[in-house]
Structure 1
Amino acid sequence: MEWVVVVSVIVMLALSLLRVHVIFAIIIAAVVAGLMAGMNIQDTIELLIEGMGGQANTALSYILLGVFAAMISYTGITSILVRSLIKVLTNKKTVLVLVIAGVASMSQNIVPVHIAFIPILIPPLLTLFDQMKLDRRAVATALTFGLKAPYVMIPVGFGLIFHQTIQEGMSNNGVDITIRESALSMLLPGIGMMIGLLIAVFFTYRKPREAKQWLPTDGISYDNQKKVTFNYTHGLTIVAILAALVVQIFTESLVIGALTGVILMVLFFVVPLREGDAFVQQGVGIMGTIAFVMLVASGFGHILKETGAVDALVASSSDMLAGHQAIIAFILLLVGLVITLGIGSSFGTIPIIAALYVPICMAAGFSPMAIAVLIGTAGALGDAGSPASDSTLGPTSGLSADGKHHHIWETCVPTFIHFNIPLFIFGWIASVIL
C-alpha cells in the first residue's frame, strides 16, 4: 500500500513532463492510485469528486481575486506600474528580475491578491523580456519566490494563515506552539529560498536566451500600454486594495477580503456596475483554470488519504528509521516531498502531514519548534516544483500569455531545483538544531 503514493505521484510527474495537461495528469494519477488500492474506476472517480470540496474555499477565493484583479486592471493603474518598470529598468535584467520578486512578495502580505496580479502585470512585460533576451526561467523563479518565501517566514496575510494552520495541526495532535515560534522556526528554510533565488538570478539564468514558441500565439499585442496618468480613481483603487488587506487580516478569510475589494470598487464608481458580467468573465479567465486544478488536486489528495496510502507510506518509513533524529527528520522530509508534490498545496497538505508527523516526532523527542519546521518545510516543498501548485501555475499563466513559456520545463523544473533543494537542506538542518 505504501507504494501507492510514490507510483501515482511518479505517474503524474511523468505525464506532466510529457506535456500532458496538468488536469489530465492529476486525474490519471488519481485513477492509478485508486486501482492500486483495490478500487474500481467508478469508485475512484466518485472519491475524487468527493474530495474536490476540500479546496472549494480556495477556488472561490481565487475566482474573486481574479475579478478584483480584472477591476484593478480596468482602472489602468497597472499600466502606470508597467510603464515605470519599463522606463527605469530597460536593459537592467538582473534588477528587473529582483524587482519582480519584490512585487510578487508584496502579493502575499501587503496586498494579498496572491497570484491574481500575475496575468495583468507580466504579459505587458513579455515584449521587453524578448528585447532584453531575458531568460524567462529567471522570472518564473522570481515570481515563485515571491509567492512562497513571504508566507513561509512572515506571519501576516497569507503567512498568518500558513502558520495558524501549522499551529492548529500541531495542537490537534497534542503539541502546543505559538504563531511567533512557528514563524521563527521557518526562518532558516526561508533563507535557503533566498539563496536559491540569488543562484537562479546571478548564475543559472543570467545568460541571454531567446524565448521558444511552445504554443500558438493568440495574436494579442501585450506591449501596447495606453498612456495613463495617476488620478483620483487610482487613489480610490488603492483604498479598495488596502481595505481588502485589512478585512482579510481581521477576518482571516480570502473570500471576504476579495469580496470587500470588489464591492468597494463598485461603490466608489471606479468600475461601472453594468460591466459586472465582463469582469466576472475576465476573472474566471484569469484564475479559473488554476482554481479548477486546485480542486482536482484536492480530490487526488483525498484519494491518497482515504485509501490509507499516506499512512502506510509514513508507517513504512518510520519502521526503517534507526532512531536518530537527523535520520528521522531526513526521511520525514523526503516523505513530505513526495506527498506534497502530488497534492500541490502547502496549506491543504499541512493538516495531513501534522497528523502523521507529530506522533513520530514526539516519540523521537523533537522540540515543538523542530516539529513545526518539519511540518512547515514539508508543506512548502510541494508548493515549488509541483505541476499542480498555484505557485507554479500562477507564473506560467503570465509568462505563457504569448505561447513562449512551458509550464513544466520552464517553471516547475527551475523552481524545484532552486527552491525545493535548499528548502529540504535548510529545513533538515533547522529540525536538528532547534
Structure 2
Amino acid sequence: MEWIVIVSVIVMLALSLLKVHVIFAIIIAAIVAGMMAGMNLQDAIEMLIEGMGGQATTALSYILLGVFAAMISYTGITSILVRGLIKVLTGKKTMLVLVIAGIASLSQNVVPVHIAFIPILIPPLLKLFDQMKLDRRAVATALTFGLKAPYVMIPAGFGLLFHQTIQEGMSNNGVTLTIKEIALSLLLPGLGMVVGLLIAVFFTYRKNREAKQYVSVDSILVDHEKDKITFNSSHVFTIIAIIAALIAQILTGSLVIGALTGVILMVLFFAVPLREGDAFVQQGVGMMGTIAFVMLVASGFGNILKETGAVDALVESSSSMLAGNQAIISLILLVVGLVITLGIGSSFGTIPIIAALYVPICVAAGFSPMAIAVLIGTAGALGDAGSPASDSTLGPTSGLSADGKHHHIWDTCVPTFLHFNIPLFIFGWIASILL
C-alpha cells in the first residue's frame, strides 16, 4: 500500500517531463493509484471525480480572476505601468527580476491576491523580456518565490492561514504552539528559499536566452502596441474596482466574492464595454481555465491517495524503519512530505494530512514542539514549488506562456524545484535538528 503514493507520483512526474499535458498526467497517475489499491478502472475514475469538488471554489475563483484580469488589461492601465518599468529597468535584467520577486511577495501578505496579479502584470512585459533576452526561467523562479516564501515565513495574509493550519493540525494531535513560535521555527527554512532565489538570479539564469515558440497564441493580453495610452477616467474606475475587489476578498475571505466584485464594478463603472463580455470570458477562461482544471483534477488525485490510505501507509511504514535517530527520522519525513505534496500540489491541503501522522511519530522520537512545526511546515511546503499541479507553478506559467514561448514543466517546474525544494529541504532538515 505504501508504494501507491511513490509509484503514482513518479508516473505523474515522468509523463509531465515527457511533455504530456499535466491534466492527462494527473489523471493517469490517479488511475494508477486507484488500480494499485485494488479498484477497477471505473471505480478509480469515480473516486477521482468525487474528489474534484474539493477544489471547486478555488477553480471558480481562478476563472473569475482571469475574466477580471482580461478586463483590466483591456483598459490599458497595465501598459502605463509597464512603460514606467521599461523606462527605469530596461537593460537591468537582474534588477527587473528582483522587482518582480518583490511585487510577487506582496501578493501573499500585504495585498493577499495570490496569483491574480500575474496575468495582469506579466503578459505586457513579455516583449521587454524578449528584447532584453531575459531568461524567463529567472522570472518564473522570482514569481514562485513571491508566491511561496512569504507565506512560509510571515504570519500575515495567506501566511497567517498557513501558520494557523499548522497550529490546528498540531493542536488536534496534542501539541500546542503559538503562531509566533511557528513563524520563528519556519524562518530558517524560508531563508533557504531566499538563497535559492539569489542563486537563480545571479548565477543560473543570468545569461541571455532566446525564448522558444512552443505554441501560436493570439490574444489581446499580449498586445503591446498601446504606447499612446494616457491615464484617464476609466483607469481611475479600474483602480477603484481593484481596491474594492481586494477589500471584498479580505472582509469575506473569499476569492470568488472578491473577483466577482471587481468584474461587476468594471461593468457598472463603464470601464469596459458590456458588449465585449463574451470576449472577456473567453480570454479569462483561456488564461486561467487550465489552472482551474488542473486544481480540480489534482484534488481528485489527492482524494484517491487519502481515501485508499496510501498516505497513512507510506508514513507509517517509513517511521517503523527509523528507530530513534532524530536526524534520520526528520530526513525521511521530509522526503515523504515532498512526495505527497508533489502529487497533491497544495501545501495548504497537505498539512492536515501529514500533521495527524507526523505529530505522534515526532513526539515519540522526542522532537520539541518547534521542531515538529518545522517538519510539518517544511514537509507541506516541499513540492509545492516544482509540482506540475501547484498554483505556485501554474500561476507563473499562465503569465509567461501568454505568447506561447514558455513551457510549464521545463521552464517553470524544473527550475523552481531545483532552486527552492533543495534549499528548503536542507534548511528545514537543519532547523528540525537544531530546534
Instruction: Calculate the TM-score normalised by the size of structure 2.
Output: 0.94
Q: 1:85 to 1:13 in 2, by over 3 A?
A: same
Aligned alpha-carbon RMSD (Å): 1.9
Deviation at 1:49, TM superposition (A): 0.5
Deviation at 1:273, TM superposition (A): 4.6
* Contact 1:110/1:245 (<8 A) preserved: no
Q: 1:63 to 1:188 in 2, by over 3 A?
A: same
Deviation at 1:267, TM superposition (A): 4.3
Residue identity matched to 1:253: S
User: How far does the alpha carbon of each residue in 1:66-119 deviate from its partner, in whole angstroms, 9 at most, with x for none?
Assistant: 222223223322111111111211111111111111121222233333223222
C-alpha separation in 2, matches of 1:309 and 1:223: 49
User: How far does the alpha carbon of each residue in 1:196-223 deviate from its partner, in whole angstroms, 9 at most, with x for none?
Assistant: 0000000011111122223345487643
* Contact 1:157/1:248 (<8 A) preserved: no
Aligned to 2:159: 159
Q: Report SS of the residue matched to 2:107.
A: helix
* Contact 2:151/2:160 (<8 A) preserved: yes
Structure 2: any 5+ residue segments left out of the alignment? Answer: none
For structure 1, which segment, 83-92 or 109-118, has the greater mean C-alpha deviation from structure 2 after superposition? 109-118
Aligned to 1:149: 149
Structure 1: any 5+ residue segments left out of the alignment? Answer: none
* Contact 2:5/2:305 (<8 A) preserved: yes
Aligned to 1:350: 351
For structure 1, which segment, 202-211 or 64-73, has the greater mean C-alpha deviation from structure 2 after superposition? 64-73
Q: Report SS of the residue matched to 2:161.
A: helix
Residue identity matched to 1:37: A
Q: 1:182 to 1:227 in 2, by over 3 A?
A: farther
* Contact 1:141/1:411 (<8 A) preserved: yes
Aligned to 1:378: 379
Residue identity matched to 1:330: L
Residue identity matched to 1:340: T
* Contact 1:126/1:222 (<8 A) preserved: no
Aligned to 2:14: 14
Residue identity matched to 1:187: L
Q: Does 1:296 align with 2:313?
A: no
C-alpha separation in 2, matches of 1:181 and 1:252: 25
Instruction: Calculate the TM-score normalised by the size of structure 1.
Output: 0.94
C-alpha separation in 2, matches of 1:181 and 1:225: 49
For structure 1, which segment, 33-42 or 128-137, has the greater mean C-alpha deviation from structure 2 after superposition? 128-137
Q: Does 1:180 align with 2:183?
A: no
* Contact 1:5/1:304 (<8 A) preserved: yes
* Contact 2:56/2:296 (<8 A) preserved: yes
Identical amino acids, percent of aligned pairs = 85
Aligned to 2:24: 24
For structure 1, which segment, 414-423 or 370-379, has the greater mean C-alpha deviation from structure 2 after superposition? 370-379
Deviation at 1:178, TM superposition (A): 2.7
Q: 1:110 to 1:71 in 2, by over 3 A?
A: farther
* Contact 1:387/1:412 (<8 A) preserved: yes
Residue identity matched to 1:192: G
C-alpha separation in 1, matches of 2:340 and 2:331: 14
C-alpha separation in 2, matches of 1:410 and 1:283: 23
Deviation at 1:431, TM superposition (A): 1.6
Aligned to 2:137: 137
Count of aligned pairs between the two proteins = 434
C-alpha separation in 2, matches of 1:113 and 1:183: 21
Aligned to 1:287: 288
User: How far does the alpha carbon of each residue in 1:280-316 deviate from its partner, in whole angstroms, 9 at most, with x for none?
Assistant: 3332222111011001001001101111111110011
